[in-house]
Amino acid sequence: MNRTTNPVFQIPYIGETLKPDYLSLFEQLKRLGAAVHINKINWPEYSYAPFVQLFAGFTDAYLWLCYEVKGDFLRARAVMDQEAVWEDCCVEFFVSADEKKCRESSLQDEIVYRNFEFNILGVVLSACGTKEDRVALAVEELDRILRYPELSRDMLPEEGSLCDWGLCIAIPLDLLGLQRGSRFKGNFQKCGDLTHAPHFLTWNNIISAEPDFHLPQFFGEMVLVD
């Protein structure tokens, strides 16, 4: 299969000194984590591209992801988990912990993966399964995901206006099926289907006729560096 991939993304161990507020988390992840840009435009008809940088690291219990977004047109309609966050200002992480099967299979309907999608307020949508057979995560599982948005609802500018924002999240490693030293596959995405300028950016390239992040055969390689 013809595809363009990034080098293996090496996610470092960052210790346990994280403080529970966005600014502290952002500074620590920026200092100790590994950075990538989410800037691939796979569908030229959606050429708008806000600046998106991700800082990643892991602790004994969590995978930490901190997204920095600049130049997004504000939309934040979803307020409850499992609502349509992809229509808002949204960042995403898709992951398949079954690295062997993901590597050997080129058929999307054979690869089990998890999607974690967050809007600007940290509202999450998540499910697990193959592309065509997915089960939403239970409330108890969603509640274990820590979320630290830079902006609260009362801080948001007017809908449709340009804004910069950030979001730090922590996903339990056991929820991902990962541990120190794990090699796995995944992708990072940025979208906003119903924002003023719809966009569909990725870290690893996707080859498809129309925007679709649910193509695990295009996931890139990652490792939690031991």
CATH of residue 58's domain is 2.60.40.1190
- State the residue range of the domain holding 46: 9-224
Residue 2 lies in a domain: no
DSSP string over 17-47: ---SSHHHHHHHHHHHSEEEE--EE--TTS-
> CA 23 to CA 42: how far, in whole Å?
32
Asked whether residue 181 is domain-assigned, the answer is yes
The yes-or-no verdict on residue 117 having pLDDT over 70 is yes
pLDDT for the residue numbered 107: 47
Confidence of residue 103 (pLDDT cuts 50, 70, 90): very low
Q: What residues are paired with 221 via a beta bridge? A: 185
Burial of 54 (0-12, 13-18, 19+ CB in 10 A): buried
Ramachandran angles phi, psi of 10, nearest 5°:
-95, 115
Query: Does a structural domain hold residue 75?
Result: yes
In a domain, 3, yes or no: no
Residue 1 domain flag? no
Residue 4 resides in a domain: no
Residue 83 belongs to some domain of the structure = yes
Residue 150 lies in a domain: yes
Q: Is the per-residue pLDDT at 27 higher than 80?
A: yes
Q: Kindly state the average pLDDT of the residues 12-29.
A: 90
The mean pLDDT of 190-213, rounded to a whole number, is 98
Measuring CA to CA, how many Å separate 211 from each of 121, 145, 205, 206?
Answer: 24, 27, 11, 9
Q: Binning pLDDT at 50, 70 and 90, where does residue 173 land?
A: very high
How many domains in the chain? 1
Q: Residue 173: enclosing H or E segment and its boundaries?
A: helix 173-176
Could you tell me the pLDDT band of residue 65, with boundaries at 50, 70 and 90?
A: very high
Mean pLDDT estimate for the chain: 92
DSSP strand pairing (9-11 vs 220-224): parallel
CA 87 to chain centre: 15
